[in-house]
Amino acid sequence: MNATMTMHMPSQTFMHSLVETEPAVRCEGIRKSFGTGEAKVDVLRGVDFTAAPGEMTFLVGPSGCGKTTLISVIAGLLDFSDGEVTLFGERWSALSPRDQIVFRRQNLGFVFQQYNLLPALTAAENAAVPLLAAGVNRSKAVRRATELLDQLGLGHRANAYPRTLSGGQQQRVALARALVHEPRLLICDEPTAALDHHTGEAVMDLLANSAVHPERAVIVVTHDNRVFHYADRIAHMNDGAITEVESRASKTFSTVPVAL
C-alpha cells in the first residue's frame, strides 16, 4: 500500500457516521469569547455555517468580524464555548483530544497567509511535512512531495530553500504541503493577501484547478474582492455571525496553466 492510499482511507473510527449527503463542514450555533469579566469579547455569536465537498466556499467580512477565529474553530485549533462543529459526519465534541489530533492530521490541510515554511528545509521537505508527521518514511514522503510540486509547476525548485523563492512560489509550496496528504478539507487563510494581483490570480487558478476535488471542501478566507469570482459560495460574516450566503453558479476562472 502506498503512502497516498494510506492517507486516503478513513480509519474505522471515523467511517461509521459518514453520510454521502452530509456537508463536509457544519457549524451550528458556534459561540466563542476571548478574555473574562470586563475584558470579555464575544467574537463568535452563534455562527451557522456549512461547506460542501467539491466546492470552494469563501468566508468574507470586515476586519475583526471573526473569520480567523471561525476557521481556527473549524480546524480544531481553538475551542468554543457553545454549539457544535461536525466535520464529514463526525461531531467534534464526540472525539477525544487524541482522536481530534489524528482526525485533523488525516483530513485537514491549511494554507497560511504568510506561508509558514520552515527556513531550514527545502521546498520538497517542507511540502513533505504532513507525510513525515504521519509516519511515512522520508524518501517516500519527499518523492511524493516532489511529484506534487512538479504538478504545481515547481518541480525545478524542489531543492530550493524558501528564502530563494518568490512569494508566489512560496505560496505554491505551502499549497503542496496542504495537499500532499490528500485532505478532505482545505482551509486557506488570506492566500492572496501577500501577493500582487497577477500572482494572486495565479494562486487562485492553481487552487481552483488542483485543490477543488469532488471529495474535498475548500474554505478560503479573503478580503480580496478581486478574486470573488472563483467562489462557488460566499458566506458573508459580520460581527461574529454569518449574515448572508451567496451561491455563485456562474463562477469563472482560467483553466490555462499559469506561471508564478
Ligand X SMILES: Nc1ncnc2c1ncn2[C@@H]1O[C@H](COP(=O)(O)OP(=O)(O)OP(=O)(O)O)[C@@H](O)[C@H]1O
Q: Is the dihedral of CA 161, 134, 108, 83 positive or negative?
A: negative
Closest CA to 176 of 197, 190, 155, 199: 155
Query: Considering beta carbons, is residue 34 or 133 the nearer one to ligand X?
Result: 34
Query: Considering beta carbons, is residue 42 or 147 the nearer one to ligand X?
Result: 42
Task: For residues 71 and 32, give the distance between their C-alpha atoms in angstroms, rounded to a whole number.
Answer: 12
Query: Considering beta carbons, is residue 29 or 62 the nearer one to ligand X?
Result: 62
Q: Are 65 and 243 in contact (CB under 8 A)?
A: no
How many residues lie near ligand X (CB under 6 A)? 12
Query: Considering beta carbons, is residue 83 or 89 the nearer one to ligand X?
Result: 83
Q: Are 25 and 54 in contact (CB under 8 A)?
A: no
- In what helix (H) or strand (E) does residue 109 lie, and over which residues does it extend? strand 108-111
Query: Considering beta carbons, is residue 8 or 45 the nearer one to ligand X?
Result: 45
Q: Interface residues for ligand X in 7-66 (CB under 6 A)? A: 34-35, 41, 43, 61, 63-66
- Beta bridge partners, 45, equal 31
Binding string to ligand X for residues 60 to 99, with x set by CB under 6 A, is what?
-x-xxxxxxx------------------------------
Q: State the cell numbers at 11.
A: 480509519
Nearest distance in Å: CB 148, ligand X: 28
Task: For residues 106 and 60, give the distance between their C-alpha atoms in angstroms, rounded to a whole number.
Answer: 27
Binding string to ligand X for residues 98 to 137, with x set by CB under 6 A, is what?
----------------------------------------
Contact positions vs ligand X (CB under 6 A): 34-35, 41, 43, 61, 63-69
